[in-house]
């Protein structure tokens, strides 16, 4: 990606918690010890996500590990959300490096988290694969749109990374009491239903976004 194209990209964040989150991150960045670097926070976010996947796996025999997952989601938010804010606060932004590293870390982190879910017995492996495919396709679309249209969507509609973490944490608490539900006269894992719904929502979002992006690019480069 050329530096000129990326540096001109407009960050678009429309999530429910965006305003409050931005203020909180700026407050934290101003008080972060000098020895803590953005790279430290990025690594912390990744380690928390991998550990959350491990906690999901352990929850197959000890459901109390779901509380550890929720705690690690908070740690992941702290590292993943604060790294860029801290870099900008210290005037040490590296747009191309940060963009690449941050999103490769997200790619590995989501794989670890969903992989842990697939091993937890709360979600079937096939549903986990469906979520990963939908997530990666949507991510590819976002990155291509950032390059070609100069708009980096951090959230779709009112849901961003923070809201998704909150929904997942809430779902984990529900799992402690109701890991399965009855549908059409048979017991079905709650997270299988939620996972399929999430995959379908991501694919629908992808389809709409692809149509909009294609139409806009056609308009910009009409022959």
In 10 A of CB 52, how many CB atoms? 27
The residue that leads in pLDDT, 186 or 57, is 57
- Given pLDDT bands bounded at 50, 70 and 90, which one contains residue 18? confident
Q: Which of 7-16, 26-35, 67-76, 203-212 has the lowest mean pLDDT?
A: 7-16
Domain CATH number, residue 32: 1.20.120.1760
Q: What is the pLDDT of residues 97-109, one digit of tens each?
A: 988 999 999 999 9
Q: What are phi and psi of 181, to 5 degrees?
A: -130, 165
- Given pLDDT bands bounded at 50, 70 and 90, which one contains residue 194? very high
Are the CB atoms for 25 and 82 separated by under 8 Å?
Answer: yes
Q: What are phi and psi of 180, to 5 degrees?
A: -140, 160
- Residue range of the domain that includes 49: 3-220
pLDDT of residue 104: 94
Q: How many domains does the chain have?
A: 1
Q: What percent of the chain has pLDDT over 70?
A: 91
**Average pLDDT estimate for 119-123:** 93
b/e string for 132-166 if b means 16 or more Cβ within 10 A?
bebbeebbebbeebbeebeebbebbeebbbbbebb
Are the CB atoms for 77 and 169 separated by under 8 Å?
Answer: no
User: Alpha-carbon distance 112 to 102, whole Å?
Assistant: 15
Residue 130 scores a pLDDT above 90: yes
Q: Which of 9-23, 76-90, 94-108 has the lowest mean pLDDT?
A: 9-23
């Amino acid at each position: 990606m050329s530096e000129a194209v990326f540096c001109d990209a407009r960050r678009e964040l429309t999530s429910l918690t965006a305003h409050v989150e931005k203020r909180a991150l700026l407050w934290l960045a101003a008080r972060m010890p000098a020895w803590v670097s953005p790279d430290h926070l990025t690594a912390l976010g990744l380690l928390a996500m991998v550990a959350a996947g491990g906690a999901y796996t352990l929850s197959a025999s000890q459901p109390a590990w779901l509380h550890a997952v929720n705690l690690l989601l908070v740690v992941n938010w702290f590292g993943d959300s604060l790294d860029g804010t801290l870099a900008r606060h210290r005037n040490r932004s590296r747009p191309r490096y940060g963009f690449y590293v941050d999103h490769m870390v997200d790619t590995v982190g989501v794989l670890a988290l969903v992989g842990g879910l697939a091993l937890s017995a709360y979600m079937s492996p096939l549903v986990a694969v469906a979520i990963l495919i939908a997530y990666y396709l949507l991510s590819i679309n976002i990155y291509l749109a950032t390059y070609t249209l100069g708009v980096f969507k951090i959230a779709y509609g009112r849901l961003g990374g923070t809201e998704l973490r909150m929904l997942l944490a809430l779902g984990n608490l529900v799992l402690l009491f109701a890991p399965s539900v009855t549908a059409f006269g048979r017991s079905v894992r709650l997270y299988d239903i939620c996972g399929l719904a999430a995959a379908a929502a991501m694919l629908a979002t992808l389809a709409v976004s692809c149509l909009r992006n294609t139409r806009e690019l056609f308009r910009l480069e009409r022959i």
